[in-house]
Homo-oligomer: A and B are copies of this chain.
Amino acid sequence: MVRNQERRAALADAGIRVLATEGARGLTHRAVDAAAGTPRGTASNYFATRADLIAALVQRIGERLTPDPAVSALLRHRQPGREVFGDYVRDIVRRLMADPHVTLALFELRLEAARRPDVAGALAEWRRRSFEDDVAFNRTAGLPGGAVEIALFHFAVDGLVFDRLTQPLDDGLDIDDAVDALVSRLLP
């Protein structure tokens, strides 16, 4: 059972590499087996349809972007306020930049969602829940920033990370300065 879960995660990680390095159109069961080094047919055994494969990739992307519990524990013990909120945003950007394949794979899936309703459906539930969790977290933790601010940070951080992981603007801003500027301005 554990063995199966490990194999499943390894196949999903291979799918993430395929998305990041070949784009959404390159994502096939065969490409996943090739990237994972598994015999042909393995990916199909785990994920019967392309929709199953996409759902597994969305789940795995979520796992790989999960905060480090040690970082969260440190932040949770500080006095809530703008500075702590800023550190949460910095930690999100750090995670997105540290794992470029995961972040690029997510952008690929989101673009694919504009073309394929099944992909849009797979993303919708996950994104809805993440967004609601973020809003609830800020409220419960007494952090500044409600739904509007969290949406604005989503947009700005997505655009910043998209820029930095592709062909970056020559704007002279280092990524930490950009995040600091966003935090200081977007919070009420």
In the complex, chain B residues whose CB is within 8 Å of the CB of A166: 110-111, 113-114, 120
Q: How close is A143's CB to chain B, nearest CB, in angstroms?
A: 17
Question: Closest residue of chain B to A160, judged by CB?
Answer: B155
Q: Assess whether A158 is in contact with B163, with CB atoms less than 8 Å apart.
A: yes
Q: Assess whether A131 is in contact with B171, with CB atoms less than 8 Å apart.
A: yes
| In the assembled complex, A36 has its CB within 8 A of some CB on chain B | no
A115 to B77, CA, bound (A): 41
In the complex, chain B residues whose CB is within 8 Å of the CB of A23: 23-25, 111-112, 115
When A24-B23, A151-B178, A163-B155 are in contact, do A111 and B113 touch as well, CB less than 8 Å?
no
Q: Assess whether A181 is in contact with B24, with CB atoms less than 8 Å apart.
A: no
Looking at A104, A112, A169, the one whose CB has the most chain B CB atoms below 10 A away is: A169
Which of A5-13, A64-72, A122-130 contacts the other chain? Answer: A122-130
Q: Assess whether A148 is in contact with B181, with CB atoms less than 8 Å apart.
A: yes
Question: Closest residue of chain B to A19, judged by CB?
Answer: B111
| In the assembled complex, A39 has its CB within 8 A of some CB on chain B | no
Size of the chain A interface, CB-CB below 8 angstroms: 51
A139-180 to B contact mask, C-beta < 8 Å, 1/0: 000000001101110111111101101110111110000100
In the complex, chain B residues whose CB is within 8 Å of the CB of A147: 171-172
Question: Closest residue of chain B to A135, judged by CB?
Answer: B171
- 12 residue pairs from A and B, CB less than 8 Å apart: A23-B115, A25-B26, A107-B162, A111-B111, A114-B166, A151-B171, A152-B178, A152-B182, A154-B169, A156-B156, A157-B159, A158-B159
